[in-house]
């Protein structure tokens, strides 16, 4: 089944980004280091890949080619029953599930090719495009369109990728036809587009990937970090180097300074990266990228020999717009790799999961990093990091994390082994599902959270770029500062949050009515939409009933 790509007129591109509205209510936040919540003892499937859909569900999936998972099925894909104890038949086990946030339940899905170490991104209508993987998944294209009746499942496209895409990265482009760029892969030094402009369109060579490839360390430039700049060009970071790339002309526009320090930031070094929140105050023109952690020089080779080198402790920030480009370096509280960096509704960055020593790959890391870091980009260097309450669960290789609509962070996965392994190993396969509830979710701030949030689109269907639209909600308390942030939920895997993006919107007018009852007074705000798809690629809004900060 092929995906139906919509063509929206330029000024009517769907809902700005695949996003939920998040209101930041600034008040005195004292004391708490957050709370860990155990949601499920088992998801049945390792959350190697995770993505939040607009139906308030989360897709989780791992690999199909390495034996059974923890979720046994009664029937195979084509309907024959799984009798007895079919341990040797992976088709009798789910390798993908849909997690329902409101009911805390999982539904098995049918993954029809191996998505091991694949990539993904949401399209403008909320469909997840998922590309590549391993073996029979190298060149496959999959789609999942969310539904609310439990009937939706993975669909395999008849079209295929031009090159093998194992450990590649995806980014939704700011055009009108839902085009996605797919970059890199193991020993693949090219990029391509989905969908193709014409049937014979092939992959395009990208010499930058060959230049940054470290053969002895399994690449160290896999899962390259991709960020969309405000001029519509791509920032591509691989190993320690980065470029500004014009994909329309297949041209490197700018080569940035090498990031200081040895080691590697990309897989299997496995650091992480975010684009810091963009703001209306400069018309979203200043774009600053942050890259943190990773593996030490020679970490992959050493890990294979049983020696685990300390990971990288440094973070670098660099403004990629303008004409002056310098990495501003700072230290994390301790070394970290294999972690996830999640932009919180406050604009702060949460570092969660990972290890302090080693490298990416099976059994290649040691000493789990169980205490989250909180990073405030607005504070001066030396005061930006704080440490939060640790988890008791080791989240190592093949763990993942995403932001939920209610402000918590969903954390799952971890499997350093080729197969599901629960006994006689230091770090067993982990199927438990947790949520980390940051300080702002505490009950004492309940009066400061908006209720019944709704968005009134300018024409009943779409929000127009650069024009106003209404947001209404009820609010009992009176916060010191009221901000309106738009967030694009990512596809996360292997420490990479593909397409994650936050925008700080301008409030043009706000009217507050007197409160009636316990739900607080009604607040109506006119917000200004971002100016272009370069700032906010098109998408569909998430449900807003649980949105708060």
| 27-82 pLDDT, tens digit each | 444 447 999 999 999 999 999 999 999 999 999 999 998 889 999 998 887 789 98
3-state SS assignment for residue 151: coil
Put residue 191 in one of left, alpha, beta given phi > 0 → left and psi -120 to 50 → alpha: beta
- Tell me the pLDDT tens digit for each residue of 401-410: 999 999 999 9
3-state SS assignment for residue 444: helix
pLDDT of residue 546: 30
Q: What does the alpha-carbon distance between residue 184 and residue 222 come to, in Å, rounded to a whole number? A: 7
pLDDT of residue 542: 56
What residues contact residue 141 under an 8 Å CB cut-off, 6+ apart? 129, 130, 131, 156, 157, 159, 160, 161, 194
- Tell me the pLDDT tens digit for each residue of 523-547: 999 999 999 999 999 887 654 333 3
Residue 231 confidence class, pLDDT cut points 50, 70, 90? very high
Per 3-state DSSP, what percentage of the chain is helix, strand, and coil (rounded to 5)? 5, 40, 55
Nearest-5° Cα angle at 202, 209 to 200: 175
pLDDT of residue 476: 84
pLDDT at 17 over 60: no
Number of H helices, E strands in the chain: 2, 39
CB 391 within 8 A of CB 370: yes
3-state SS assignment for residue 91: helix
pLDDT of residue 388: 97
Q: What is the set of domains in the chain, with CATH numbers?
A: 33-441 (2.130.10.80)
Q: What is the 3-state secondary structure (H, E, C) of 279-304?
A: EHHHCCCCCEEEEECCECCCHHHHHH
pLDDT of residue 477: 78
At 309, list the tokens. 């080198």
pLDDT of residue 31: 43
Closest CA to 529 of 448, 464, 457, 443: 464
pLDDT of residue 32: 75
Q: Is the dihedral of CA 511, 456, 465, 277 positive or negative?
A: positive
CB 481 within 8 A of CB 24: yes
Average pLDDT of the residues in 116-131: 96
Residue 141 confidence class, pLDDT cut points 50, 70, 90? very high
pLDDT at 135 over 90: yes
Q: Compare 304 and 475 and report the one with higher pLDDT.
A: 304
At 160, list the tokens. 């295929």
Residue 519 confidence class, pLDDT cut points 50, 70, 90? low
At 229, list the tokens. 């700049």
pLDDT of residue 186: 97
What residues contact residue 80 under an 8 Å CB cut-off, 6+ apart? none
| Least-confidence region, from 90-104, 115-129, 194-208, 504-518 | 504-518
At 58, list the tokens. 């989360």
What residues contact residue 463 under an 8 Å CB cut-off, 6+ apart? 15, 16, 455, 457, 469, 529
- Tell me the pLDDT tens digit for each residue of 263-303: 999 999 999 999 999 999 999 999 999 999 999 999 999 99
Q: What does the alpha-carbon distance between residue 473 and residue 455 come to, in Å, rounded to a whole number? A: 9
- Tell me the pLDDT tens digit for each residue of 488-498: 999 999 999 99
Residue 23 confidence class, pLDDT cut points 50, 70, 90? low
Cβ–Cβ contacts within 10 Å for residue 65, how many?
16
pLDDT of residue 443: 85
Cβ–Cβ contacts within 10 Å for residue 176, how many?
17
What backbone torsions phi and psi does residue 517 show, to the nearest 5 degrees?
80, -170
Average pLDDT of the residues in 122-145: 97
**What is the radius of gyration, based on Cα positions, of the chain?**
22
Cβ–Cβ contacts within 10 Å for residue 186, how many?
18
Residue-wise DSSP of 319-366: E-SSS----EEEE-SS--BS-EEEE-TTS-EEEES-EEEE-SSTT-EE
pLDDT at 458 over 80: no
């Amino acid at each position: 089944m092929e995906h139906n790509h919509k063509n929206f007129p330029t000024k009517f591109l769907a809902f700005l980004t695949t996003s939920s509205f998040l209101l930041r209510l600034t008040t005195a936040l004292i004391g708490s280091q957050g709370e860990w919540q155990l949601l499920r003892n088992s998801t049945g499937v390792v959350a190697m890949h995770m993505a939040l859909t607009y139906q308030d569900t989360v897709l989780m999936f791992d690999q199909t080619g390495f034996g059974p998972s923890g979720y046994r099925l009664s029937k195979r894909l084509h309907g024959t029953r799984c009798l007895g104890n079919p341990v040797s038949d992976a088709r009798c086990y789910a390798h993908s599930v849909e997690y329902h946030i409101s009911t805390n339940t999982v539904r098995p899905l049918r993954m029809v090719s191996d998505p091991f170490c694949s990539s993904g991104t949401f399209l403008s209508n909320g469909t997840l495009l998922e590309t590549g993987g391993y073996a029979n998944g190298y060149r496959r294209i999959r789609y999942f369109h969310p539904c609310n009746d439990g009937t939706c499942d993975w669909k395999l496209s008849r079209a295929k990728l031009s090159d093998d895409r194992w450990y590649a990265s995806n980014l939704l482009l700011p055009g009108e036809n839902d085009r996605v760029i797919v970059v890199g892969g193991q020993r693949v030094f090219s990029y391509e587009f989905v969908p193709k402009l014409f049937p014979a369109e092939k992959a395009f060579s990208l010499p930058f990937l060959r230049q940054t490839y470290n053969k002895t360390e399994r690449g160290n430039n896999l899962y390259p970090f991709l960020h969309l700049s405000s001029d519509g060009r791509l920032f591509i970071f691989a190993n320690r180097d980065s470029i500004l790339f014009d994909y329309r002309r297949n041209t490197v526009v700018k080569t940035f300074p090498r990031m200081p320090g040895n080691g590697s930031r990309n897989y299997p070094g496995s650091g992480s990266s975010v684009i810091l929140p963009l703001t209306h105050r400069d018309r979203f023109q200043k774009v600053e990228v942050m890259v943190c952690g990773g593996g030490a020089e020679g970490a992959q080779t050493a890990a294979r020999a049983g020696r685990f080198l300390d990971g990288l402790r440094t973070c670098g920030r660099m403004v990629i717009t303008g004409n002056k480009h310098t990495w501003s370096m700072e230290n994390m509280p301790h070394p970290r790799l294999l972690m996830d960096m999640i932009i919180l509704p406050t604009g702060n960055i949460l570092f969660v999961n990972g290890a302090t020593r080693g490298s990416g790959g099976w059994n290649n890391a040691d000493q789990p990093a169980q205490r989250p870091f909180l990073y405030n980009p607005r504070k001066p260097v030396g005061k930006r990091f704080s440490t939060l309450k640790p988890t008791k669960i080791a989240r190592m290789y093949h763990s993942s994390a995403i932001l939920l609509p209610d402000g918590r962070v969903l954390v799952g996965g971890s499997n350093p082994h080729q197969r599901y392994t629960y006994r006689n190993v230091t770090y067993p396969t982990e199927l438990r599902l947790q949520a980390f509830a940051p300080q702002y979710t505490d009950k004492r701030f309940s009066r400061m959270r908006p209720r019944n949030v709704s968005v009134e689109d300018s024409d009943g269907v779409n929000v127009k770029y650069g024009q106003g639209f209404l947001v209404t909600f009820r609010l009992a308390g009176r916060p010191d500062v009221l901000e309106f942030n738009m967030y694009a939920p990512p596809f996360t895997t292997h420490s990479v949050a593909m397409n994650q993006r936050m925008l700080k919107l301008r409030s043009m007018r706000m009217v507050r009515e007197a409160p009636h009852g316990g739900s607080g007074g009604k607040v109506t705000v006119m917000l200004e939409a971002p100016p272009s798809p370069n700032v906010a690629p098109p998408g569909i809004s998430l449900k807003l009933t649980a949105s708060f900060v």
